[in-house]
């Protein structure tokens, strides 16, 4: 099982981090050990002093495919979930400044929070999915799938040019503006519409 994450897929998020707007989907991988066990707290890793949350819609692949045409991409997923791409921002910035890969800032153990359940896409307007993140009861991120630079089908088509997609693969589709840091004692809750999708306590 692969975890594939899309970067800079919301213009305002790219701007808040001072990044250029991507001309094609930018993606990176997390190992399967990044999955945060359901119901477990998130433990801030010892090697970072600046862990950020990034809430994202997540699609789960339901059949194997390679070189998928965009017009057929919708048949390769049937459910939408929600997750957090936890990021060691200080480590990421250090790596970027040196021109080095920054997987260790994104792929550490527990860095991929995933919702308890997924929603059948037939129950959603894929071009108007409202999702949000609360920190300690206050909304800190609010996104809508209509604001993505690259929609779900375009993402799948692009990734499948390079990687074979397999059943169970997860694609984190990018985060909207409003990312920020966490500290021990914080509680994060993620929502699609009004439906709570996950809750995680920071330790």
Number of domains in the chain: 1
SS3 157: helix
Q: How many residues does the chain have?
A: 203
pLDDT in tens, the chain (203 residues): 999 999 989 977 667 767 677 789 999 999 999 999 888 999 999 999 999 999 999 999 999 999 999 999 999 999 999 999 999 999 999 999 999 999 999 999 999 999 989 999 999 999 999 999 999 999 999 999 999 999 999 999 999 999 999 999 999 999 999 999 999 999 999 999 999 999 999 99
Residues of the domain holding 116: 3-201
For residue 84, what are the β-bridge partners? Answer: 55, 113
173: left (phi over 0), alpha (psi -120 to 50) or beta: alpha
Task: Residue 35: give its domain's CATH number.
Answer: 3.90.850.10
Q: Which of 16, 103, 87 minimizes the C-alpha distance to 48? A: 87
- The whole model's pTM is what? 0.95
């Amino acid at each position: 099982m692969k975890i594939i994450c899309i970067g800079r897929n919301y213009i305002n998020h790219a701007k808040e981090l001072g990044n250029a707007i991507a001309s094609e989907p930018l993606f990176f991988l997390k190992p399967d050990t990044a999955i945060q066990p359901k119901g477990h707290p998130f433990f801030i890793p010892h090697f970072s002093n600046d862990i950020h949350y990034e809430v994202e819609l997540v699609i789960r692949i339901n059949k194997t495919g390679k070189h998928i045409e965009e017009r057929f991409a919708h048949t390769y997923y049937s459910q939408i979930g929600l997750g957090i791409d936890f990021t060691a921002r200080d480590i990421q910035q250090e790596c970027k400044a040196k021109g080095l890969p920054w997987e260790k800032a994104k792929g550490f153990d527990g860095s991929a929070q995933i919702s308890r359940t997924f929603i059948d896409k037939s129950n959603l307007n894929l071009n108007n999915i409202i999702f949000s993140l609360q920190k300690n009861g206050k909304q800190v991120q609010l996104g809508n799938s209509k604001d993505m630079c690259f929609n779900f089908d375009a993402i799948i088509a692009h990734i499948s040019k390079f990687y074979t997609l397999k059943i169970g693969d997860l694609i984190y589709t990018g985060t909207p503006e409003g990312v920020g840091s966490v500290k021990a004692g914080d509680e994060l809750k993620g929502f699609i519409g009004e439906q709570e999708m996950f809750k995680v306590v920071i330790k």
